[in-house]
Amino acid sequence: MPLYEYRCPDCNARFEKLARHEVADSIPCPDCGGARSRRLISVFATFSAASDGNVGSVSGGCGCGGSCACGGH
């Protein structure tokens, strides 16, 4: 089940909720109970372990971990 991020326009609360895709657009605000909460575009990062076991490299996005047009500069 995916984790979605929301913002309520009634009380301006931001919250996260695990929800099935079919009901992800109709989640009430846990703070005020408002029914107008909207899903936000969420950003995520993935981490990978180096061969020595240390975690530290981030892939995705830019910076330049890969998925951008900067050509690895």
Res 8: pLDDT: 96
Domain count, the chain: 1
In the predicted model, what is the mean pLDDT of the chain?
Answer: 76
Evaluate whether residue 72 is within a structural domain. Answer: no
Q: Measuring CA to CA, which residue among 3, 12, 6, 42 is closest to residue 26?
A: 6
pLDDT tens per residue, range 34-50? 999 999 987 766 666 66
Q: What's residue 57's pLDDT? A: 47
Q: pLDDT tens across 44-68, in order? A: 666 666 666 555 544 445 555 555 5
Domain annotation covers residue 39: yes
Range of the domain at 41: 1-67
Identity of the residue numbered 31? D
